[in-house]
Amino acid sequence: MRRGSLFLVRGLATLVACGLSLAARGARANPLDVFGFGSREAAMGGAVSADVRDFSASYYNPAGLALAHGLEVSVGYFRADHALSMNGKDGGVDPVAGMAGGAVVPGKIYDFPFAVGVGFHIPDHWLTRVRALPQTQPRWELYDNRNQRLWFGVDGAISPWPWLQLGGGVTFMAATKATLDISGHIALFSPTDSSLRHQVDADLTTIAYPAFGARAELSRQLALALVYRGQFSMDLNVAANVKAGAGLGRAGDLTTLTIGLQTDTIDAFLPQQVVGGIAWTPAQDLHLNLDATWVNWSAYVPPVSRITTQLDVPPPQGGWPAGIKPPTVPAPTIVVPIEVHDTVVPRVGVEWRALARPSWEGFVRAGYEFAKSPIGAQTGSTNYVDRDRHSISAGLGVRLVAPGAVLAGDVRFDAHAQLSLLPTSTTIKSDASDPVGDYTAGGHIWNVGFMATVGF
């Protein structure tokens, strides 16, 4: 390739990658933020933004895909069980479990290493879950509902220079819009005599969010990474329209009831993030990584429904019968602003190739993450319960080198276990007439999983 063309391709690649980053409004879903993506990465505390090259780069740093040596397919499973309690009683927060995996397909554009990666997390129980609770109801805000959703990402990366990798991608999520129409007859004092017809029209609309990452290799021992993950919100908008005759029995409408109900909810909101990472390889068998993630939690929007109601119930001729009081329009929801703060989440990880044989290698990994709670003290009427989280993790890995004639690449098996500790502390209310009152909250989360990767 001529030098001019080479420069042009490098420049275009850089511009496209930077354009993606500027256009990015959102990036990643929630379960991966808390529990990691891939056993190697989870075992290292998620501190891999400058040291990732497999399918999990779709989440940690798309630029790492450009480091892939060959086609790889990974499949695994993880399960996180919550033991989160309030006042010493388990809150029944559902586990997060499901398959995780992906593939990396490397190639070249002209002479530049290029790769496409896909990653997925498919939950066991729900592809997504909607839960909009009253703002006064205690709930584990960051663990109860946010992590129950599907995640799917498609990314591409290029290495315009040997020391630089740039990557970007798109993450797919879904938002919901629905309309519910009800018509018929309502028997005010005998609900079983009502005859109603309903029609539901619901759409799951796709939301696609780009992401961007960069990795710079300063030397064989030192690499830096910078990743941007933008904010996104999953909206849930439901409109219900009721137009029905209302009476005392099966027949004889007293009046016609018309109700319009519109609820608008941010079902899940992920704030934008910026990750800076360092990967240091002081020896051939040792990787030491450090990541720091700035999370713009102050922009967080809690999942509280905003309900708008329109009601039209004209009185019947002669007025309302004795004992019947027409319904009135409920007051609109007053959302109490949530107090949240930006946080910086430090992560450290280490990987040691403990055994190196001609046909196989063995790895030992460990990591730590500290996620300070972004949510302010819940002294008022709201109860967005959260606590600081310390996560310690460990894992093992085995790599079989060219295990058979069919597989010229390698086969890797990785497993991890992570324990997150949320120290118990007391939420103290300022109002003695608070219906919830003071309470303690804390607990722990176990996260275990495994991953198998085949490199072709």
Partner 1 sequence: MTRATPPPWLLLALASCATQGGVSNGGVNLPSSGVGPFRPLVDGELVPQAVTPYVLGDSQAQYREPDVVGTSDDPTSAAVWMYAVATVKGAAVVVRTRADDARSFYGDAADNADTTHPRHEPPTVLAASDPWEGTDLGGPCAVRSGGQVLLYYGAAGGIGVAASPDGDGLTFTKHGAPVLAAGGGGGWETSAPRAPSVAVFPDGTWHMLYAAGDSIGEATSADGIAWTRVGADPVLGPSAPVDPSTLGPGEQPPFDEGGVDDPVIAPQTNVDGRLQVRVLYTGYRDAAGSMGSAPRRSAIGLAGRFGDAGALTKQAAPVFTVQLHERAPGFFEYAGGSLLYVGEDDTSQSTTQPFQGIGAAYAPVGGRLPAPLPFPATP
Which residues lie near partner 1 (CB under 8 A)?
A: 70-71, 73, 75, 85-87, 89-94, 98-99, 101, 103, 120, 122-127, 129, 131, 133, 137-139, 144-145, 189, 309, 322-323, 325, 328-332, 406-409, 426, 428, 431-440, 454, 456
Q: Smaller CB distance to partner 1: residue 49 or 128?
A: 128
| CB-based burial, 363-373: b 16+ in 10 Å, e otherwise | bebbbbbebbb
Helix H or strand E segment including 216: strand 195-217
Report in angstroms how near the CB of residue 430 gets to partner 1 at its nearest. 9
Residue 139: which residues within 8 A CB-CB, separation 6 or more? 133, 145, 383, 384, 385
Report in angstroms how near the CB of residue 329 gets to partner 1 at its nearest. 4
Q: Smaller CB distance to partner 1: residue 298 or 310?
A: 310
Report in angstroms how near the CB of residue 9 gets to partner 1 at its nearest. 25
Report in angstroms how near the CB of residue 355 gets to partner 1 at its nearest. 26
Q: Smaller CB distance to partner 1: residue 140 or 363?
A: 140
Report in angstroms how near the CB of residue 90 gets to partner 1 at its nearest. 6
For CA atoms 230, 123, 448, 283, give the dihedral sign: negative
Report in angstroms how near the CB of residue 163 gets to partner 1 at its nearest. 26
Q: Cα(219)–Cα(421) distance, rounded to whole angstroms?
A: 37
Q: Give 21-70 as a 3 state SS string.
A: HHHCCCCCCHHHHHHCCCHHHHHCCCCCCCCCCCCCHHHHCHHHHHHCCC
Q: Smaller CB distance to partner 1: residue 70 or 252?
A: 70
Which amino acid would we find at residue 338? I
Eight-class DSSP state of 340: B
Q: Smaller CB distance to partner 1: residue 54 or 144?
A: 144
How long is the chain? 456
Q: Smaller CB distance to partner 1: residue 98 or 168?
A: 98
Q: Smaller CB distance to partner 1: residue 6 or 133?
A: 133
Report in angstroms how near the CB of residue 373 gets to partner 1 at its nearest. 18
Cβ(416)–Cβ(39) below 8 Å: yes
Helix H or strand E segment including 446: strand 439-455
Query: How is residue 395 written in tokens?
Result: 């894992």
- Which SS3 state, helix, strand or coil, does residue 134 take? coil
Q: Smaller CB distance to partner 1: residue 329 or 356?
A: 329
Report in angstroms how near the CB of residue 432 gets to partner 1 at its nearest. 4
Distances 281 to 42, 51, 165, 287, 337 between C-alpha atoms, Å: 19, 10, 18, 5, 46
Report in angstroms how near the CB of residue 68 gets to partner 1 at its nearest. 13
Q: Cα(35)–Cα(272) distance, rounded to whole angstroms?
A: 18
Q: Cα(345)–Cα(315) distance, rounded to whole angstroms?
A: 60
Q: Smaller CB distance to partner 1: residue 195 or 424?
A: 424
Q: Smaller CB distance to partner 1: residue 12 or 329?
A: 329
Q: Cα(416)–Cα(80) distance, rounded to whole angstroms?
A: 11
Cβ(179)–Cβ(241) below 8 Å: yes
Query: How is residue 220 written in tokens?
Result: 């064989």
Distances 53 to 31, 38, 40, 104, 178 between C-alpha atoms, Å: 20, 12, 11, 9, 41
Q: Smaller CB distance to partner 1: residue 4 or 404?
A: 404
Report in angstroms how near the CB of residue 34 gets to partner 1 at its nearest. 16
Report in angstroms how near the CB of residue 311 gets to partner 1 at its nearest. 9
Report in angstroms how near the CB of residue 288 gets to partner 1 at its nearest. 33
Q: Smaller CB distance to partner 1: residue 62 or 106?
A: 106
Closest CA to 62 of 296, 229, 289: 229
Q: Cα(268)–Cα(261) distance, rounded to whole angstroms?
A: 21
